[in-house]
A and B are shown apart, each in its own frame.
Chain A
Amino acid sequence: MREFTDRALDVAKSAGASYADIRIVRQENQTIGVKNGIVATLELGGTYGFGVRVIADGAWGFASSNRLEKAEIDRVAKLAVAIAKASAISKAEDVDLGPPEVHVDTYKTPVEINPFDVSLEDKVDYLLAADKEARAVEGIAIAEGSLGFLREAKTFASSEGSYIDQELIETGLGFVARAVSEGEMQQRSYPNSFGRHQAKVGYEFLAQWDLPGHARQMAEEAVALLSAPQCPSGVKTIILDGPQLGLQIHESCGHPVELDRVFGTEAAFAGTSFLTPEKYNAFTYGSDIVNIVSDAVSPGGLGTYGYDDEGVPGQTTDIIKDGKFVGYLTSRESASQLRKIHPDAPARSNGAMRASGWHRLPIIRMNNVSLLPGDCSFDELIADTDDGIYMVTNKSWSIDDKRLNFQFGTELAYEIKNGKLGQMYKNATYTGMTPEFWAGCDAICSAEHWHIWGTPNCGKGQPGQVAHTGHGAAPTRFRNVQVGVME
């Protein structure tokens, strides 16, 4: 591979690049879907190619190709430089990458069982067993389960001297049972909704989450929801379960701390951020028990890796410390930009640049953005709540372009009365403004209830990129939240 990476970097420099890097990426994936007792989809996919990123005349250029051949490498490297030079006509200032990053290393996702070594038969049997359990429940119209496995091998080399090989492996799984009556449809998903729960782990994930052992309960809850009353509206105390809280963190903390959004480069698509630079180290984001970190190193997190796609080591950084906003997710360029505003900000990137594949330019992406655990058990949290709603598993999400006003819906909710869970409710939603909402956070369950929930469907960028992110979360209580808008 060195032969190709050296060639790309040499050609780019000869064409006028002051900096160049190349990523050669091979992705293989396997997806299996079972629906109502039939193996509806079974697909193997793969993609292979390379992308060359350069700075020339002080501006960025990027080009990519699916043909890893010498002549094609020459063409793509020269094209990247030509594009950089065209971009330079409207530049405000030269790109500043900050201190050089030079790393020669290899990294592999640690797995107990490589999912690509397990037979398709075992995988299908696992899903069919879950499907059978769900469809044994009267009233289930649609039972759907899926497994997904991804292996990504990538080589990064830069003109600064980095050369990094990584092999990342992901395993994902999910199940949904849907019950339908006239004008109504209700669903329950396990362990998470919208496809699946995913992590940087091996096939051992399937035994850990045991879809067949939970499918019947999901089906029973979906049927029960059809006749459950609408969740009442009002300003209430709510407790969010881990998966729902994971998405709340993703949308209302993870995205607004992406420094490229803050500096406006996502403004036309995903939006900007209310966490503008003057708020850095000077803004109360939430109550003093709120501690949120950016973490690329926790074992098993979907956002765990050795190095980002600029060759910066994965690391852990404080984002919210005792309720105060103290850190962004950064790239090399944006870290330098921030330092011009805040000379005390770190000189180096905290390693959050990732691309969805060889054909995309890295942009700032969440790794595992997690709310650190508190100290109570789930039973203690419920017992300590006189009047509230417990909301379980995300069903809908929406947030404004600055990440302030949000509205979420959950698949299931329960009344909490006098310290006990009671009536089941359907169609629960809650809405609020980010800082007010997090200011109302007054109890977080302990590490025993904490888990990194995978979000394998985070969209950002133009052209669009889908990233895989993780969010550590335990059940958490919030006071004074507006519940419900549905009639």
Chain B
Amino acid sequence: MLTVLGETRLAEIAHKALRAAEADQTEVTVTSNASHLTRFATNTIHQNVSETDVTIRVRSIMGTKTGVASGNELDDEGIGRIVSSAETIARFQQENPEFKGLPEPKPIQGVDAVVQRTADATPMDRAEGVEKILKLSRAAELEAAGAFSTEDQELYIANSLGVGAYHRGTVASALTVVMGEDSSGYGAAASIDIADVDTEAVGRAAVDKALRSKNPVKIEPGEYTVILEEEAVADMVFFLGYMGFGALAVQEGRSFMSGKIGEKITGENVTIWDDGSDPRGIPLPFDFEGVPKQKVVLIENGIAKGPVHDSFTAGREEGAVSTGHALSMPNTFGPIPINLFMAAGDASKEEMLASTERGIWVTRFHYTNILHPVKSLLTGMTRDGTFLIEDGKITKPLVNLRFTQSVLEAFANISMLGASVKMVKDDWNSIGHCVPAAKIDGFHFTGTSGS
């Protein structure tokens, strides 16, 4: 079994680099991962991969000049070369008067995010989990595609001012799209504990939707009441974070929160915060500068509160401190929150459905993208289970629809929120957001697909 290296070994690598450093200040980030993924399509496993890697990234500071180098060759010579490259770049660099230095150490409250059975999962464990989905799909004469992955990742950040932060976490994730001739359904689950990832339930949800979405009909685009399942809400919350919850976006006027802090920007039933310590998500208790993550309320009862800071944006604003939301530094994008939570309401999806005279049920969105960040305007498609609601019941499956919608406007029109939250893992990274389902009035659909 491939495993990560452990805190002692990562600390050794980091401190070897720090000892080799000659810069005024030095930061070393060491990441180690053991990742495994079993992928399936047309009811068979077609891809089964496993990887381990360790990388080191060195940020060298000379005055206010910064150089960065990274690599994955970790013998003494390799580490020395990376440190030396970072310092050569820093010497050559220009002064950045806005840079105030690396952060000082602060106490970090660790989060227990390792579940050993997730780390120990074998290719056979994953194949057996996948087989449960495939069995359901075959029995229904449908075709399943998807992936079942397990990851064990660790991160050590040290700097010459005494920061030494270590975190290890596991993640298991299963998702499937089950397809018929003209229909499809989706199921997904993710958790730090593989035991919580019930692939049979994932398969059942997807098969059920694939069966119910046969023979879809087209509906005219326009304004509709929608019931968005958690995956669709998570997509919108993710984009809010990306577009505007970071301090640099606010400072530069490219955020929907620029000039709006303290003002009402959504409905009163919307509260969104970031919390890297909550194990319902994929926890990370500190950021990529080793600063402990604070719980930051971004929107409270509809009022803009945030944003999140890194040490650079905090240094540009009087009275601001880093909230522990730095990405790898330096960068030109600024901090973003990666552990978002949206407050639940008190409704069940059944209650949302029963209360809807006419509307559209959305399982999830596809290929969402930003049209205008300051207006929080997005476009994207529905996918894998879009249904017409009439008189409190789902009556017909629908051909997928394109939406073009401001998130803030949608979040001003939420009439019901689900009573529980689901953790939805990002497709590309080990980050997850916990959100409820939502019933939203006046949602803008602007086109339909042909299938």
Contacts and interface: CB of A to CB of B under 8 A. Distances in A.
Nearest to A263: B42
Contacts of B400: 400-401, 405
A144 B248 CA distance: 14
A59 B45 contact: yes
Nearest to B151: A463
A383 interface: no
Contact of B369 (A142, A263, A268, A397): A397
B449 A405 contact: yes
Contact of A462 (B39, B42, B89, B366): B39
Contacts of A278: none
A227 interface: no
B69 A92 contact: no
B367 A400 contact: yes
A38 B94 contact: yes
A35 B252 CA distance: 12
Contacts of A64: 49-52
A297 interface: no
A41 B331 CA distance: 6
B377 interface: yes
A86 B72 contact: no
B375 A183 contact: yes
B371 A396 contact: yes
A114 interface: no
A30 to B, nearest CB: 10
Interface string B90-101: 001110101000
Contact of B68 (A43, A401, A482): A43
A405 B447 contact: yes
A463 B92 CA distance: 37
A365 interface: no
Interface in A231-268: 263-268
B107 interface: no
Given A33-B332, A396-B369, A402-B451, A47 B374 contact: no
A284 interface: no
A427 B46 contact: no
B53 A49 contact: yes
B319 interface: no
Interface string A23-46: 000000000010100111111111
Contacts of B377: 486
A265 B145 contact: yes
Interface residues of A, number: 80
Nearest to A464: B428
B369 A39 contact: no
A396 B134 contact: no
A332 interface: no
Contacts of B371: 395-396, 409, 427, 429, 486
A104 interface: no
B149 A89 contact: no
Nearest to A75: B2
A41 B372 contact: no
Interface in A402-442: 402, 404-405, 407, 409, 427, 429, 431, 433
Contact of A87 (B86, B127, B254, B330): B127
Nearest to A179: B253
B109 interface: no
B146 interface: yes
A398 B379 contact: yes
B265 to A, nearest CB: 12
Contact of A84 (B48, B177, B404): B48
Contact of B45 (A42, A91, A141, A263): A91
A367 B363 CA distance: 34
Contacts of B410: none
Contact of B404 (A45, A185, A407): A407
B147 interface: yes
Interface in B21-50: 35, 37-50
Question: Which of A120, A272, A485 is the most central at the interface, judged by chain B CB atoms within 10 Å of its CB?
Answer: A485
A463 B37 contact: yes
A359 interface: yes
A66 B450 contact: no
B279 interface: no
B412 to A, nearest CB: 15
B334 to A, nearest CB: 11
Given A35-B332, A41-B332, A89-B127, A405 B448 contact: yes
Given A268-B145, A398-B367, A66 B54 contact: yes
B48 A48 contact: no
A392 to B, nearest CB: 16
B176 interface: yes
Contact of B254 (A33, A35, A180): A180
21 contacts: A41-B68, A47-B53, A47-B55, A60-B48, A86-B127, A87-B46, A87-B127, A90-B40, A144-B332, A265-B42, A266-B41, A272-B179, A274-B450, A399-B367, A400-B402, A402-B449, A404-B450, A407-B379, A407-B404, A431-B446, A485-B446
